[in-house]
Structure 1
Amino acid sequence: MTLTQLQKDLIFGSLLGDGNLQTCSKGRTWRYRAIQKSEHKEYLFNKYEILKNLCGVTVVPKENEILDKRTNKLIKRWSFNTLTNTSLKFFGNMFYRYDSNKRKWTKKVPLKIQTFLNPRALAYFYMDDGALKWLGHSNAMRICTESFSLEDIHRIKNALKNLYDIDTNLTKKKLKSEEIRFRILIPEKSSNSFRELIKPYLIECMKYKVSDGNYGHL
């Protein structure tokens, strides 16, 4: 099955964010999985409508409850999986490496990120993992990239600079393990350019993550 450009942008952008691919065939075939908390149901269904032809007639988004280990409370979330599809192998090869020590697939930022990080893909990346730095006090925004290595994060930073002349900084994030990881900060001076770049592709329920240029959100 040939993917549309919209499907490619969604998959690429969200794989930089919360989206993931799963394989049970040692990387020969893959399926895409999306999960969002109930407050972002509209966003989850946006992804589903775009990828519906990869899901089959019996696959629809489902709501379930899981225990949030950080708060020890039950939270509701929506999710769906596509069927396994050979078209997704391209993205599996690009994003995933098998770690024989941990016996699992790990996600990496692709070497060719600059080839595929168009504004719409960037919007999906930000909607997945972006946030305002300080509502009411700053126009700066951040992207939660702490799951990636520092090398991978610099690859994203370089892509933003080389493709769109957007300057970014890094801020530290301490994990529960006490390990220090890093997030990408989009400072005040870059916030207007970044907002205008992704604004045409934002889903309504995710606009609260984006600065309006006056210390509020869209």
Structure 2
Amino acid sequence: MELLEELLQHIPLRSLSLINAKLLGDGNLTIEGFKQPRFRFQHSYADRGWCHFCYESLHSFIPVNPPRYKRNIDPRVNAGFSETLYVQSRTSPVLTLLKNSWYAGKKKIIPLQLLEQTLNPESLAWWYQDDGHLVWENGSPRKIILSTDNFTREENLGLIKILRELLHLEFSLDGQNRLCLYDQPQILYFLFLVQDYIHPSMARKLPPYSQITSPIKLQQKRTTIYLPFQLTKPTKEIREILFKFNPETFITNWYRYLYKSHLTLTAFKYSHQVTLNKMERNKIFKTQSRTGLRMSEIITILFSQRKEACPKDKPLKDRINEEVVELPVAAGSPALT
């Protein structure tokens, strides 16, 4: 019998996915001699809300005891001690099955096939709340880090493959063997996926949207927009599509379906000097701040959605496809306007 099928005889798929997320993060299975394994996780006392929430979410499916307070001598902190809450389970058949897939002896390993079958936005959010970190600098998200340095490079490459195939997120490994996400639209898409599952006590894991600063100067009326095709009257044509442009509708559609269809990179080879009024610039800024897209990308998508803006001899989508090239995604690549 396949491992997943055997596990599902003891526990629902949703609960299994959350336990796997805890094992990716702050959870572990205690293994003492020939005793049956017990599931355990702990959090700082400051994160007690998250600890209690995890217990409440799992205790109906695995025999975990309520959180218990522990004071630890710790000379690294000014107080000389740290405070934690820990949760530990009793034994259970499902934990024995998980031990056989998550551990080689006493060493934790990653059961990639099992994660491929159970990882979803909710379990990603649990993993992120345990071991994730959002780097936010100068009004913009810079990267998301998932602390996976205790796993092997090969295991982490397997995690990267799963995240790419299941959730359309292109992580890479940094010098500390951690999973990092650098692309701004992907960072915001990641946060969109997890935001409904972030516990209030872990709100620091979400971005301070109110502090986002504009990547363009709102008072700057004249700007350069790069497109994969050439316009004959750029200011007139671009202002026409911006006149009917509804940022909220665009943002909703971006997260529903446009993001997944926008993964192929486009060569923006034609520059256009355009003049935009304040309302038009504000529309673009709002869309940029919520999607991470550059102004040129937003305008390109808007043109691709409006077939009547294409020349009669060749549809715009065909002109765009002619210019599509496969380019590597790299941190620190030069920004487009």
Q: TM-score, normalised by structure 1?
A: 0.82
- Structure 1 position 170 matched with structure 2 position 173: yes
Q: Provide the rounded CA distance (Å) in 1 between the counterparts of 2:122 and 2:175.
A: 27
Q: How does 1:128-147 map to 2 (within 5 A)?
A: 128-139=130-141, 140-147=143-150
1:163-188 deviation line (CA, Å, top 9, x unaligned): 11111122223xxxxxxxx1111112
Equivalent in the alignment of 1:178: none
Q: Provide the rounded CA distance (Å) in 2 between the counterparts of 1:8 and 1:91.
A: 10
Equivalent in the alignment of 1:90: 97
Higher-Rg member (1/2)? 2
Q: How far 1:137 sits from its partner (Å)?
A: 4.5
- Structure 1 position 68 matched with structure 2 position 63: no
Higher relative contact order (CA 8 A, sep 6+): 1
- Unaligned ranges ≥5, structure 2: 1-8, 213-337
Q: Provide the rounded CA distance (Å) in 1 between the counterparts of 2:121 and 2:82.
A: 32
1:21-77 deviation line (CA, Å, top 9, x unaligned): 123364x73211010001100111011112224337xx3211111133654831100
Q: Provide the rounded CA distance (Å) in 2 between the counterparts of 1:36 and 1:65.
A: 12
Tell me if structure 2 keeps the 8 A contact 1:131–1:209.
yes
Q: Counterpart of 1:76 in structure 2: which amino acid?
A: E
Q: How far 1:149 sits from its partner (Å)?
A: 0.9
Q: Provide the rounded CA distance (Å) in 1 between the counterparts of 2:174 and 2:210.
A: 23
- Structure 1 position 80 matched with structure 2 position 82: no
What secondary structure sits across from 2:179 in the alignment? strand
Greater than 6 Å deviation, 4+ residue runs = none
CA RMSD of aligned residues (A): 2.2
- Unaligned ranges ≥5, structure 1: 99-104, 174-181
Q: Provide the rounded CA distance (Å) in 2 between the counterparts of 1:60 and 1:208.
A: 25
Q: TM-score, normalised by structure 2?
A: 0.54
Tell me if structure 2 keeps the 8 A contact 1:29–1:84.
yes
What secondary structure sits across from 1:133 in the alignment? strand
Tell me if structure 1 keeps the 8 A contact 2:171–2:180.
yes
Q: Provide the rounded CA distance (Å) in 2 between the counterparts of 1:214 and 1:90.
A: 46
Tell me if structure 2 keeps the 8 A contact 1:170–1:183.
yes
Tell me if structure 1 keeps the 8 A contact 2:30–2:39.
yes
Q: How does 1:46-125 map to 2 (within 5 A)?
A: 46-53=53-60, 54-55=62-63, 59-68=65-74, 70-71=76-77, 73-98=80-105, 105-112=106-113, 113-125=115-127
1:128-171 deviation line (CA, Å, top 9, x unaligned): 10011235544121111111111111111111111111111222
- Percent identity (aligned): 25
What secondary structure sits across from 2:90 in the alignment? coil
Aligned pair in 2 of structure 1 residues 153, 35: CA closer, same or farther (>3 Å)?
Answer: same
Higher helix share: 2
Deviates more, 1:117-126 or 1:63-72: 63-72
Aligned pair in 2 of structure 1 residues 193, 212: CA closer, same or farther (>3 Å)?
Answer: farther
Higher strand share: 1
Q: Provide the rounded CA distance (Å) in 1 between the counterparts of 2:44 and 2:107.
A: 23
Aligned pair in 2 of structure 1 residues 136, 36: CA closer, same or farther (>3 Å)?
Answer: farther
Q: Counterpart of 1:206 in structure 2: which amino acid?
A: M
- Structure 1 position 184 matched with structure 2 position 179: yes
Aligned pair in 2 of structure 1 residues 213, 169: CA closer, same or farther (>3 Å)?
Answer: farther
